[in-house]
Structure 1
Amino acid sequence: MSAPAVLAIDAGQSGIKVRLPQGVRGDDLVLDGIRTGEPLLPQLAAVVAATRERTGARVDTVAAGISGLTDANADAAAMLDLVRDLGVRDVLLAHDSTTSFLGALGDRAGAVVAAGTGVVTLAVGAETTARVDGWGWIMGDAGSGYWIGREALDAVMRAYDGRGPNTMLTAAASDLWPDLSQAYMTLQADPDRVRIVASFAAVVARAAAADDAVARDITARAAHELAGSVRAAIAQVRTDEPTFPVCSIGGVFGSPLLHADFVADLHGSDESVRLVDPVGVGIDGVAALVAVTDTHPLAALVHRAGLAH
């Protein structure tokens, strides 16, 4: 019997990557991101249908890593019902922290902090796992792109009011909202406000590189938040490992200053925690879901339905 044809879906808010059965990195399709205000599973089913129509590929198994996946949405059986008529026999669903981990570190103990618009950290030990943060832009995501952007806009308005120091961040905000006194109303009414706020993370990175004191402070505090999340996750799973590998992935770490601050903060507290380069990306981890055995610490985080389950 031939191996099942696995369609891998890496579903984020900013975009969805799809890897065809027997596909390789570089050939992934890119679609619009998931819409958090709408039911999730029909969106994923539509991705499967559109991919089959576009490529004609046979799909036996659908594996998906999903940003912000909740217990209420992690219904693999319901997802299978939506795609069964497309020939799908098995479905695996996981939070993107799980697939980010598998993509970055593969099948070994360690911790992965994935920081983009949001942020989540997952640590995996010999027998247990621990997720830290990933609680969204209202309640968490400390050190994320949104968090950095929110701190930037707060600093801009403090400078505008005379409550804080001047900063070159003001120029970027003024380019977007010439009348800063009305910026908050415009932003609150914009359905794309989360992405807009998070976009200021790149502004902070540039200003920090230009030695703007306010941007430099935001960068250092973001790095400290991210390192703290990693430490908290590791503390919950680590046993007697002599070293513990950590991967930092996502656009936030594209700031050289933030990355350097993160490394210094992390290593300063425990030299046995070792930063390593990722072996792959998120969609590689999605494709790897099918190899997660029932005895693996991550097994409890993978929701399954179909012939093999």
Structure 2
Amino acid sequence: MTPGAGSWVVGVDSGGSGLRVALAEVTARGPGPAETAVSRTPVRTGEAGIDARHLLEQLLPMVHGLRGRGGAGGARPVAAVAVGAAGMATLGGQLRAELPGALEEALGIRGLALAADAVTAYAGALGQRPGAVVAAGTGMVAVGTDLTEWRRADGWGHLLGDCGGGAWLGRAGLEAALRAHDGRRGGSAALLAAAEGVFGPPAGLPGQLYPRTDRPAVLASFAPEVARCAAEGDPVATGILAEAARRIADAAEAVCPREAGREVDVALTGGLLRIGDPLLVPLLGELTDRLPGARVVPPAGDPLSGALSIAAALATGSLRLPGDPAMLHLAGPDGAV
């Protein structure tokens, strides 16, 4: 029997829209069918980073509820937990300091992984093999590994980066709309009409955007309009999407491992990809030109399934993804870096 098989593991996906938790039994092939729970309350972030106490206040009742659902988990302890959180790399200090002891006391766990959400996205998409994953949603980040170290590109937020992501794309579309409004070169009448349809008169745009704490999401809400204008033949919108494809490909190229004589898989994930061919066609073209040894594959799963797979690998001693203080921090008796 595979070591750890039959035990229970927990995967956690914490992001801007809330907290998702999954409980599954470990099988010889990894985690089995999962019971899941969702909280729509995002974990708070303060001066000390991601608030460990607020995460625990939500997580522990959700885990206890899942263990009691239909007898799942029963009285058996949870063997391992993997938490994937947005901002873990730069804001996860409190989680790394407080969660190992708190979860060992509350759940009796013997393995804990604290991962950047890009790492759980990677594990969900590609599992434990070399490659690269692009996560393009409101923001944009790429991660890759050759199974000895992690490489990360972009993910610097909407003011400093996230180039090609939804907020970047929406902002570029609104800038082109305002150029048309002003009579400056490079404007788009089609994008101006779209902006007026979504936000109203252009003069009101600064007031709708600058005071908002959710400014990236508001900007990203205009990205589908840019794609629609491009699909209808607007050359400015088409050019913006081509530039977004180049920026995303820049990040993928920077992190993709180069393995001589071996194809490397690249997975594209994230909600931005739902805008379809106006972005995907130029992006796939860029990746083909830049990474001739790479194979673009559909993601096998999402970040929550990635967190579960990491927890199962911890429980069975089969984790191959490299530990890293910021990207994948392993703690507890069965997994200290």
TM > 0.5 fold call:
yes
Distance 2:234 2:33 in 1: 38
8 Å CA contact 2:173–2:237 kept in 1: the answer is yes
Q: 1:177 aligns with which of 199, 210, 216?
A: 199
- Say whether residues 1:247 and 2:247 are aligned partners: no
Distance 1:230 1:33 in 2: 32
8 Å CA contact 1:77–1:305 kept in 2: the answer is no
Q: 1:162 aligns with which of 183, 207, 210?
A: 183
Within-5 A mapping of 1:1-309: 3-22=6-25, 27-32=35-40, 34=42, 37-38=45-46, 39-52=50-63, 54-57=65-68, 60=78, 61-74=80-93, 75-84=95-104, 86-89=106-109, 90-163=111-184, 164-234=186-256, 237-254=257-274, 255-290=276-311, 291=313, 296-300=320-324, 301-309=327-335
Give the aligned length.
Answer: 307
In structure 2, relative to structure 1, the CA distance for the partners of 1:10 and 1:175 (3 Å cut) is: same
Distance 1:68 1:242 in 2: 33
Residue by residue over 1:52-80, the C-alpha shift from the partner in whole angstroms, topping out at 9 and shown as x without a partner, is 45445456233111112134414434123
Report the alpha carbon displacement of residue 138 of structure 1 after superposing the two structures with TM: 1.4
8 Å CA contact 1:80–1:88 kept in 2: the answer is no
Distance 2:251 2:33 in 1: 30
8 Å CA contact 1:77–1:306 kept in 2: the answer is no
Residue by residue over 1:151-203, the C-alpha shift from the partner in whole angstroms, topping out at 9 and shown as x without a partner, is 11111211111113333222332234323212112211122222111111122
Q: Percent identity?
A: 30
Distance 1:162 1:54 in 2: 59
In structure 2, relative to structure 1, the CA distance for the partners of 1:28 and 1:169 (3 Å cut) is: farther
8 Å CA contact 1:10–1:16 kept in 2: the answer is yes
Residue by residue over 1:121-172, the C-alpha shift from the partner in whole angstroms, topping out at 9 and shown as x without a partner, is 1111153321111111111111111111111111121111111333322233
In structure 2, relative to structure 1, the CA distance for the partners of 1:127 and 1:157 (3 Å cut) is: same
Distance 1:41 1:50 in 2: 15
8 Å CA contact 2:12–2:307 kept in 1: the answer is yes
Report the alpha carbon displacement of residue 81 of structure 1 after superposing the two structures with TM: 3.8
Provide the secondary structure at the position in 1 that maps to 2:168: helix
In structure 2, relative to structure 1, the CA distance for the partners of 1:144 and 1:128 (3 Å cut) is: same
In structure 2, relative to structure 1, the CA distance for the partners of 1:302 and 1:144 (3 Å cut) is: same
Matched to 1:17, the amino acid is R
Matched to 1:287, the amino acid is L
Report the alpha carbon displacement of residue 294 of structure 1 after superposing the two structures with TM: 8.4
In structure 2, relative to structure 1, the CA distance for the partners of 1:87 and 1:161 (3 Å cut) is: same
Report the alpha carbon displacement of residue 222 of structure 1 after superposing the two structures with TM: 0.5
More deviation in 85-94 or 116-125?
A: 85-94
Distance 1:243 1:184 in 2: 47
Matched to 1:248, the amino acid is L
Distance 1:77 1:306 in 2: 12
Residue by residue over 1:17-60, the C-alpha shift from the partner in whole angstroms, topping out at 9 and shown as x without a partner, is 22123486685333226356444323321231331454454562
8 Å CA contact 1:11–1:33 kept in 2: the answer is no
TM-score for both structures, normalised by structure 1 = 0.88
8 Å CA contact 2:23–2:67 kept in 1: the answer is no
Report the alpha carbon displacement of residue 257 of structure 1 after superposing the two structures with TM: 2.0
8 Å CA contact 2:132–2:145 kept in 1: the answer is yes
Cα RMSD of the aligned pairs, angstroms, is 2.6
